C-alpha cells in the first residue's frame, strides 16, 4: 500500500467514527429530553395537588 492510500483509509475511518459518535449523542440527547419532559409532568402534577 502506498502512503496516500493509508491516509485515505485512516481518514475514512475517522469520518465514520465521527458520524457514529454524532448519531449516538443525538440518540442520548433525545432520551434525556424525553426523561426531562416526564419529570416536568410529574412536577406539574405535584404542584397541581397543592
Residue 46 located in a structural domain: yes
Residue 2 within a domain: no
In SS3 terms, the chain reads as: CCHHHHHHHHHHHHHHHHHHHHHHHHHHHHHHHHHHHHHHHHHHHHHHHC
pLDDT at 50: 66
pLDDT of residue 38: 97
> 5-50 pLDDT, tens per residue?
999 999 999 999 999 999 999 999 999 999 999 999 999 998 887 6
Structurally, the chain folds into a number of domains equal to: 1
**Would you say residue 17 lies in a domain?**
no
Q: pTM higher than 0.85, yes or no?
A: no
Q: What is the extent of the structural domain holding 44?
A: 24-50
Amino acid at each position: 500500500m502506498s502512503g496516500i492510500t493509508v491516509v485515505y483509509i485512516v481518514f475514512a475511518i475517522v469520518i465514520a467514527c465521527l458520524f457514529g459518535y454524532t448519531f449516538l449523542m443525538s440518540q442520548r440527547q433525545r432520551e434525556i429530553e424525553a426523561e426531562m419532559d416526564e419529570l416536568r409532568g410529574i412536577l406539574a402534577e405535584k404542584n397541581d395537588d397543592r
